[in-house]
Amino acid sequence: MSGALDTLARRIQDAKRLTILTGAGVSAASGVPTFRGPAGLWRHHRAEDLATPEAFANNPLLVWEWYGWRREVILACRPNPAHDVIAEWSLRPGCQVLTQNVDDLHVRAGTRSLARIHGSIWELSCWEQCERGATPWRDESVPFATLPPRCPHCGGLARPAVIWFGESLRSDDLRAAFRATACDVFIAVGTSAVVYPAAGLVHEARGGGAFTVEINPEATPASAAVDLAIHTAAEVALPLVASLMKRP
């Protein structure tokens, strides 16, 4: 593994443009509940069944109770060493960070040039799609004064400003993400790079000549499609790479 970490350290050092795509694996060590596995269960509901427009239309109170629980858990979470290293690298000119995580732990770690392509659990937008409520607003209340929370503009139902299953990314986020694939080194970390849009981004980056890297504890079908696959947890691998870069 040390050879692979060394290779990555040198590649990052030489890169003028570095893009990092992060997913749930980066936040796992901070204690953020994942959607899969036993932690994905809440009151016998599967996360995949709650994070959809259909579930919200059916029972907005239930979905908001679940989000209220997630917000409470995430509020107590702290950025881990993976967030810290990414925040440090983000200060370099030419570095861009794309995240699928809605927890804002990258924000709390001080990350620059960050695109939160799946939105933020700390932001709300209008479910009724009124004009002013289409722009997400920040609300960090835990718990909310009233549940479900309301749109301050039209009084209709508010929703979490996150991308649910079955929804498309916002077009400006998608454009920004694909622009960021024009880079020298593209690292997908803590995300199985098989799901949309990660897979497409890795493919695009590689097609454009980037050195592509996957950092994930387990091999994924994308491992074969990248130049370098490192099967280690993000909070272990990234600090090691950072320390190798500091070596003369």
What does the buried/exposed string (b/e) look like for 28-45 if buried means 16 or more CB atoms within 10 Å of the residue's CB? bbbebbeeeeeeeeeeee
Does 137 interact with Zn ion (rule: CB under 5 A)?
no
Nearest to 67 by CA among 24, 155, 59, 135: 59
Contacts with Zn ion by CB under 5 A: the residue count is 7
Does 130 interact with Zn ion (rule: CB under 5 A)?
yes
Does 153 interact with Zn ion (rule: CB under 5 A)?
yes
With H, G, I as helix, E, B as strand and everything else as coil, classify residue 88: helix
d(CA 128, CA 143): 22
Does 81 interact with Zn ion (rule: CB under 5 A)?
no
Spell out where 58-162 has E strands: 95-99, 114-116, 119-126, 137-138, 158-162
Q: Which is nearer to Zn ion, 4 or 154 (CB)?
A: 154
Site for Zn ion (CB under 5 A): which residue of 60, 156, 217, 239?
156
Applying CB under 5 A, the span of 57-65, 67-75, 124-132, 160-168 interacting with Zn ion comes to: 124-132
Q: Which is nearer to Zn ion, 83 or 150 (CB)?
A: 150
Note if 203 is an active site residue. no
Does 15 interact with Zn ion (rule: CB under 5 A)?
no
For residue 46, list its beta bridge partners. Answer: 41
Cβ-contact 42, 209 below 8 angstroms = no
Does 222 interact with Zn ion (rule: CB under 5 A)?
no
Applying CB under 5 A, the span of 78-86, 110-118, 129-137, 175-183 interacting with Zn ion comes to: 129-137
Does 157 interact with Zn ion (rule: CB under 5 A)?
no
Cβ-contact 186, 206 below 8 angstroms = yes
Active site residues: 118
Contacting residues toward Zn ion, per CB under 5 A: 126, 130, 133, 151, 153-154, 156
